[in-house]
Amino acid sequence: MTSVPDVAPRTPWQDPPAEGEAIEVAEGVLWMRLPLPMKLDHVNVYALDDGDGWTVIDTGMNSRRSRAIWERLMTGPLGGKPVRRVVVTHHHPDHIGLAGWFQRAHGAELVTTRTAWLFARMLTLDVQEAWPEETLAFYRSAGMDRAFYDKRAAERPFNFADTVHPMPLGFTRIRQDDVIRMGGRDWDVHIGNGHAPEHATFWSRDDNLVLTGDQILSTISPNIGVYATEPMADPLGEWLEACERLAPLARPEHLALGGHKLPFSRLPLRMQQLIGNHHGALERLREHLNQPRTAADCFSVLFKRTIGEGEYGLALVESVAHVNHLYHIGQVTRWKREDGAWLYQNRG
């Protein structure tokens, strides 16, 4: 009988913490969860004990329910000690959504990268009651399904301010090669990219903990998408560069504390898997583009499953990221159809 090699990341936990509760993953480090109103229905947040208060890593989205959960956490697992500092890994609403609330209501210091703060503050101030023409043109250029396009265009667009608390002026910047003291440990700051620009990760010098945010996840790949704000971006190239640069830091005994799913070990293996998965997707995509296709025509080869309505938007921006990457490295050419959609094809 041939044994099957164990190639999956390992986790010490079978179940996440219940709502309003915490699991201590290491001395002075608490893992908690906040709900999200989407298929990926949760975000992980962490609290690090600084003695006279707590440093919180990421916050969840701004909602009445999330604020109430935080109040329960602060009086329960956090023992009534104040949250003095909020460290945000990147600018997405599920991670920065309540940073402004912690600043305003609890006097916490906000620590994040400059790009994360600028993006988040800009987007909270940019409220749109109708879709900008640039966004609709971007959807058409990606070949968005017409029924989905018509339905989306008729609805009020999602605004950052819908799920992100107003952010006051003022934050503390972190950057590559900084060292930050949290939870009785010194952490090296290493900057990722791709999933979000200038995404911060934290590597403990004193034990085997790594706070990976959404740069590296255990059983799912971080979404890597192109948006109307920068339609020619190459986030996949940036994500691959960042992961290949971070990979030499990883050790099998590291416990990776990610923004979603379960904490896990075997970090070098997981990073190899994620990098390999994207290279495999690009190989399939090259073959698929032997015939001219739009980004929206590439779901089947990229994701190898049926994409439902709730996933369509994220799938589309990730598909654009993959065809953009092939275009930037010179492996495909493109031209516009009469309806405004870009068609991509192998150069041969």
Supply the pTM of this predicted model: 0.95
Helices (H), the chain: 64-75, 93-96, 99-106, 114-125, 133-141, 146-154, 235-246, 267-288, 299-303, 309-328
- The secondary structure of residue 293, as a DSSP letter, is B
Q: Is the confidence at residue 9, as pLDDT, over 80?
A: no
So what's the pLDDT on residue 7? 60
Q: What is the pLDDT of residues 237-258, one digit of tens each?
A: 999 999 999 999 999 999 999 9
So what's the pLDDT on residue 10? 84
So what's the pLDDT on residue 309? 86
CA dist list (Å): 44 to 58, 65, 261, 277, 305:
8, 16, 8, 24, 26
Q: Is the confidence at residue 78, as pLDDT, over 60?
A: yes
Give the helix, strand, coil percentages of the chain, each rounded to 5: 35, 20, 45
Taking the C-alpha atoms of residue 227 and residue 138, their distance in angstroms, rounded to an integer, is 8
Q: What is the pLDDT of residues 259-284, one digit of tens each?
A: 999 999 999 999 999 999 999 999 99
- The secondary structure of residue 294, as a DSSP letter, is -
State the pLDDT confidence band at 109, using cuts at 50, 70 and 90: very high
Q: What is the pLDDT of residues 150-194, one digit of tens each?
A: 999 999 999 999 999 999 999 999 999 999 999 999 999 999 999
So what's the pLDDT on residue 6? 57
Close Cβ partners of 31 (under 8 Å, ≥ 6 residues apart): 16, 17, 22, 23, 24, 25, 44, 45, 46, 257, 263
Mean pLDDT for 30-59 is: 97
Mean pLDDT for 204-220 is: 97
The torsion angles phi and psi of 304, rounded to 5 degrees, stand at 55, 35
So what's the pLDDT on residue 4? 36
Which CB contacts under 8 angstroms, 24+ apart, belong to 150-156?
A: 152/313, 156/129, 156/130
Q: Which of 271, 284, 203, 268 is nearest to 239 (CA)?
A: 271
State the pLDDT confidence band at 5, using cuts at 50, 70 and 90: very low
The torsion angles phi and psi of 39, rounded to 5 degrees, stand at -60, -45
What angle, 0 to 180 degrees and rounded to 10, lies between the N-to-C axes of helices 146-154 and 133-141?
170
Cβ burial of 127 (10 Å; 0-12, 13-18, 19+) is exposed
Using a pLDDT cut of 70, give the percent of the chain over it.
98
Which CB contacts under 8 angstroms, 24+ apart, belong to 324-327?
A: 324/226, 324/232, 324/233, 324/234, 324/236, 325/234, 325/236, 325/237, 325/282, 326/282, 326/285, 326/286, 326/289
Taking the C-alpha atoms of residue 312 and residue 147, their distance in angstroms, rounded to an integer, is 12
Q: Can you count the helices (H) and strands (E) in the chain?
A: 10, 14
Taking the C-alpha atoms of residue 284 and residue 145, their distance in angstroms, rounded to an integer, is 22
Fold of 23-129+159-287: Metallo-beta-lactamase; Chain A (3.60.15)
150: which 2 tokens? 């018509």
Taking the C-alpha atoms of residue 200 and residue 207, their distance in angstroms, rounded to an integer, is 19
Residues forming beta bridges with residue 32, ordered by sequence position = 45
3-class SS at 212? strand
- The secondary structure of residue 171, as a DSSP letter, is -
Residues 58 and 259 sit within 8 Å (Cβ to Cβ): yes
Say how many C-beta atoms besides its own lie within 10 A of residue 34's C-beta: 23
So what's the pLDDT on residue 1? 35
